[in-house]
Structure 1
Amino acid sequence: MNNKLNEFKTYIKNKKVAVLGIGVSNIPLIKYLYSLGVDVTAFDKCCKDDLCCVIDQFKGLDIKYSLGDGYLKNLKGFDVIFRTPGMRYDLPEILSAKEEGAEITSEMEVFFDVCPARIFAVTGSDGKTTTSTLIYKILKKQGYNCWLGGNIGTPLLSKIDEIKETDMVVLELSSFQLHTMTKSPDVAVVTNLSPNHLDFHKSMDEYVDAKKNIFNFQCEEDKLILNYDNDITREFKKEAKGKVLYFSRQQEPDKGAGLKNSCIFYKDGDREIEVVNTKSISIPGVHNIENYMAAICAVIDYVDVKTIQKVAKEFKGVEHRLEFVGEKNGILFYNDSIASSPSRTIAGLLSFDRKVILIAGGYDKNIPYDEMGPHIAKRVKSMFLIGQTADKIHNSLKDEINRTGRGKDIFVCKCETLEEAVKKAYDSAFCGDIILMSPASASFDMFKNFDERGKKFKGIVKDILNT
């Protein structure tokens, strides 16, 4: 029996509850809260006409709404307020409601409070989804009943009645979700950290502090897995409360995962295990070797090595992550729409053994692009740029040319749309070329999200393949 869940149900029943944001994750939340006898009001900045398809999903339910401009002005008189990820906790309307006695929480915070199962959680600037998916697939292949949620999979609070103590839960957590967390998972993974989401966070320090909540509330028997090769995450060990494992491509950690003779090994004191040969990993890129290392550290106490090896051979990757789309006339197309930061695009460039034709650019998150220049100069044949960050990306190359002279032969073309960029990239390509869409930017200037951007790219490519 899940006593914590029963306590939550008793507490929340008949409460007046506000849910801020009617996005994908909050639709199941609203339905679940309503099923518990909650008086629910859904808030969203979009107007009713824009949300008609969403509101249709609540037919037959007595849900109230506050929509459109000034929608938060009605945030008064509520007992509990569920904040959506991506909405700051310190908005004046939220702070005012808190002062009046409202409890401010989120779907993920409540889930941590009531989940009976062991929780594995992954955060980082890059690699979160792939690492989370790897952990999930390895545990599932071993035979555990597993749940995948957070930023991916199903919003799990709506499934909490089905989750048992013997299950395994795997979560991908963003800085938005972690920002106000006061509980940490049993097994925490931080893949890496670099400047990101500085359009939301007030500073890099605030962004890093939000990420630290994945381990800030752990205890001695919990596990924290850190990237030794990343200057920021390496230092987290000093603040850790649980057992710390490192993973590294450059060093041989005493406790954790390393790389030796093209084989990932796991070491803990005198115990050293050869886990998987990197040549048998189906998904490309050195960053995916790191993702495997992180996942291995997370699951090694719960699975057989053979299970990890089977997943390495079978797992072909997650959509929009260096996803092979197709080939025409010897020209290869890859979709890396998930790459919403310079570090992610750099990892993509390093995944190929030859120079690529790069399509990049998008929404500006106020992060620096200086580090891209040297990698563009070394790894890019030509570049087709779109969106708000086109000039920043181009300027990173110009700075490299001015410093070293490298990259001056790279052709750069600025385009108005993704379709224009893809077609011009294809027209410029020869047999053997790779066209990589890896934006190094968020998607919000042209698309709702990276998923829509990636699907648009694949649609354009498929039109080219079929002509």
Structure 2
Amino acid sequence: MKDSFMDFKKFVKGKKVAVVGIGISNKPLIDLLLNLGADVSAFDKKNKEQLGKTAEELSKKGVNLVLGNRYLEKLKDFEVIFKTPSMRIDMPELQEAKRSGAYITSEMEEFIRYCPAKIYGVTGSDGKTTTTTLIYNILKEQGYKTWVGGNIGTPLFSKIEQISRDDKVVLELSSFQLMTMNVSPEVSIVTNLSPNHLDMHKNMDEYINAKKNIFKYQKKNDLLILNKDNKITNSMTDEAKGRLMKFSIRQKIDYGAYFESEKLYINNKEVCELKDIKLKGMHNVENLLAAFCAVNEDVDIATMKKVAASFAGVEHRCEFVRELDGVKYYNDSIASSPTRTLAGLVAFDRPVILIAGGYDKNIPFEPLAEKGYEYIKTLVLVGNTKNKIKASFEKVIEDKKIKLPILMADDFEDAVLKARQSAKGGDIVTLSPACASFDLFPNFEVRGNKFKDIVNHLD
């Protein structure tokens, strides 16, 4: 039985609460805390001018604003601290607050603790958003009132009293959100794991351990779903706290989902044929299998089949943009890691003109070069990592004595123009950066939309 939200209401009333980071999810959180009678202070690195209208609105509501570069130094004497997901718990200021007796938590942690509905949590290095959206769509198609949140959708903690026990909730959870988590969803999926976010995490072990929190606190009857084909996720088998299901595109699995003879199965029952699926690529077959495992106790196979046959994908994920002069352009801006880019490349039926590069997350690019070169016709590089990626590919070109043109772009628009100039009728151009967007754009959506805008204005 989950904790009652009434307990949280009693706990937070009259308390001195700090909300660190005035972002998208924290604005509704601030309103909720105010409504529950908390004394709220909002902390942010930005100053009043940078926050603009938001600062004015919060001040009018009676929120004490603590702003500017040294804002964390004032994080003393608070009873409750809601931290933003990307903020490390081992920061000296947070550690000092903890020693002083502060309860440090996050919006997502408290939501999972008090949400009355069954929660399906999805994490992994790649495929999180597609798998989350598939689960959401299948549950909705079955007739459940379904909510989606976490990394996508809307902040849900502020809506918790609108969610009933019979509803279903699907959450996409990042390693940052999971890092300090001490509660787990009833159904937890780890799609796959590979080096990622090593600019934020101390090392790969810390990244993996953060991901494990999605199932670390599960109960005996809860369900963990692991990718059998991924070495790291499969190694977690003995750590399952409750029931365990697996999925595989390489071998048959009696209790779980698998791909065999061009068909997708769940618990040895056929769901659909590969030719009926709209999503491109075997990585999306994996995403479907993971989703089938997640919902197998709550929906009919006919519902799974219907969604598999109709779901065309999520924006910015191998998204077809347009065809111009016989050249097809695809937006795969979500591909912020080498493994995700590799999965996208393999989905096409011919070598592509690849636009890659961006913010450096300290991830090695050698795997992309060593496994991806045969799927690339021309490589166009842009952003902070362009020289790093170039060096990885040049080593493979030299070792394997192959020809692979590498074009260096001055900026994002130049990258698209260079790709267009090198393309001939029948070619495919894909933006699949293998990097985060933060060197040039605030997020991958803005990057993808910019790409689509440039492509759609080509003539």
Is 1:308 matched up with 2:280? no
C-alpha distance in 1 between matches for 2:442 and 2:139: 32
1:388-407 pair list within 5 angstroms: 388-406=384-402
2:333 matches 1:329: no
Partner of 2:343: 347
Quick one: distance in 1 between partners of 2:454 and 2:57?
A: 31
Shift of 1:398: 1.4
Q: Is the 8 A contact 2:2 2:113 kept in 1?
A: no
Where 1:337 maps in the other structure, the secondary structure is coil
- In structure 1, the partner of 2:108 is 108
SS at 1:371 equivalent: helix
SS of residue matched to 1:154 = coil
Q: Distance between the aligned counterparts of 2:51 and 2:426, measured in 1?
A: 45
Q: More deviation in 50-59 or 329-338?
A: 50-59
SS at match of 1:152: coil
**Following TM superposition, by how much is the alpha carbon of 1:463 offset from its aligned partner in structure 2, in angstroms?**
1.2
Partner of 1:278: 274
% identity of equivalent residues: 54
User: Residue in 1 aligned with 2:199?
Assistant: 199
Instruction: State the Cα distance separating 1:374 from its structure 2 match.
Output: 2.6
Q: Aligned residue for 1:446? A: 440
1:64-113 Cα deviation digits (max 9, x unpaired): 11112111111111110001111101100011111111110000111111
* Residue 11 of structure 1, CA deviation: 1.0
Q: 1:262 & 1:114 partners in 2: Cα distance?
A: 42
Cα root mean square deviation, aligned: 1.4
* Other-structure match for 2:43: 43
- Structure 1 moving runs of 4+ over 4 Å: none
CA distance in 2, matches of 1:404, 1:424: 25
1:428 is displaced (CA, Å) by 1.5
Cα deviation, 1:251-271, whole Å, max 9, x if unaligned, reads: 11221111111111112xxxx
- Of 363, 377, 382 in structure 2, the residue corresponding to residue 386 of structure 1 is 382
Preserved contact between residue 59 and residue 65 of structure 2 (Cα < 8 Å): no
Q: 1:417 aligned to 411, 435, 457, which one?
A: 411
C-alpha distance after superposition, 1:425-455 (max 9, x if no partner): 1122111111100000011111111111111
Structure 2 CA distance for aligned equivalents of residues 390 and 22 of structure 1:
33
* Residues 397 and 404, structure 2, Cα contact 8 Å, conserved in 1: no
Question: Could you report, residue by residue, the CA deviation over 1:27-64 in whole angstroms, capped at 9, with x for unpaired residues?
Answer: 11111111111111111112222211433554641111
Q: Secondary structure at the match of 1:158?
A: helix
Distance (whole Å) between structure 1 residues aligned to residue 105 and residue 16 of structure 2 = 14
Distance 1:28 1:463 in 2: 37
Distance 1:331 1:210, change over 3 A: same
Structure 2: stretches of 5+ with no match in the other structure: none
Flag the 1:221–1:261 CA change in 2: closer, same or farther, 3 A.
same
Whether contact under 8 Å (1:376, 1:397) holds in the other structure is no
Letter in 1 for 2:113: D
User: What SS does the aligned partner of 2:121 have?
Assistant: strand
Report the alpha carbon displacement of residue 403 of structure 1 after superposing the two structures with TM.
2.3
Give a deviation string over 1:143-197, Cα, whole Å, max 9, x none: 0011100111011101101000111110000000110111111110000000001
Q: Aligned partner of 2:96: which letter?
A: S
Aligned residues: 459
Assess if the C-alpha contact under 8 Å between 1:383 and 1:412 holds in 2: yes
Contact 1:339-1:441 within 8 A present in 2 as well: yes
Once the 2 structures are TM-superposed, how far is the Cα of residue 397 of structure 1 from its aligned partner? 1.3
Paired with 2:125 and 2:105, the residues of 1 have a C-alpha distance of 24
What is the rounded CA distance, in whole Å, between the counterparts of 1:210 and 1:162 in structure 2?
A: 30
Decide whether the 8 Å contact of 2:335 with 2:435 is kept in 1. yes
Counterpart for residue 90 of structure 1: 90
Q: Is 1:20–2:55 an aligned residue pair?
A: no
**Distance apart, 1:402 and its partner CA:** 2.5
1:15 to partner: Cα distance: 1.0
With normalisation by structure 2, the TM-score equals 0.98
The answer to whether the 8 A contact 2:3-2:113 is kept is no
Mapped partners of 1:379, 1:441: distance in 2: 18
| 1:119-144 deviations in Å (ceiling 9; x for gaps) | 10000000000000000000000000
State how far apart, in whole Å, the 2-side matches of 1:20 and 1:462 are: 40
Is the Cα contact below 8 Å between 1:117 and 1:167 reproduced in 2? yes
- The CA distance in 2 between the partners of 1:28 and 1:13, in whole Å, is 17
Q: What is aligned with 1:360?
A: 356
Query: In 2, distance between residues paired with 1:47 and 1:446?
Result: 22
Could you tell me how far apart the structure 1 residues matched to 2:328 and 2:59 are? 46
Q: Within 5 Å, which residues of 2 pair with 1:222-301?
A: 222-267=222-267, 272-301=268-297
Q: 2:144 aligns to what?
A: 144
Q: Work out whether residues 31 and 58 of structure 1, in 8 Å CA contact, stay in contact via their aligned partners in 2.
A: no
Paired residues of 1:196 and 1:367 also in contact (CA < 8 A)? yes
Cα distance, 1:417 vs. partner?
A: 1.1
The CA deviation string for residues 261-300 of structure 1, in whole angstroms up to 9 with x for no partner, is 1111112xxxx20011121111111100000000000001
- CA–CA separation in structure 1 for the residues paired with 2:349 and 2:256: 29
| Whole-Å separation in 2 of the counterparts to 1:68 and 1:422 | 38
Q: Which amino acid in the other structure matches residue 373 of structure 1?
A: A
8 Å contact kept, 2:227–2:247: yes
Residue 314 of structure 2 aligns to a residue in which SS? coil
Question: In structure 1, what is the Cα distance between the partners aligned to 2:55 and 2:288?
Answer: 41
User: What secondary structure does 1:160 align onto?
Assistant: helix
Structure-1-length-normalised TM-score: 0.96
Residues 1:68 and 2:62 aligned together = no
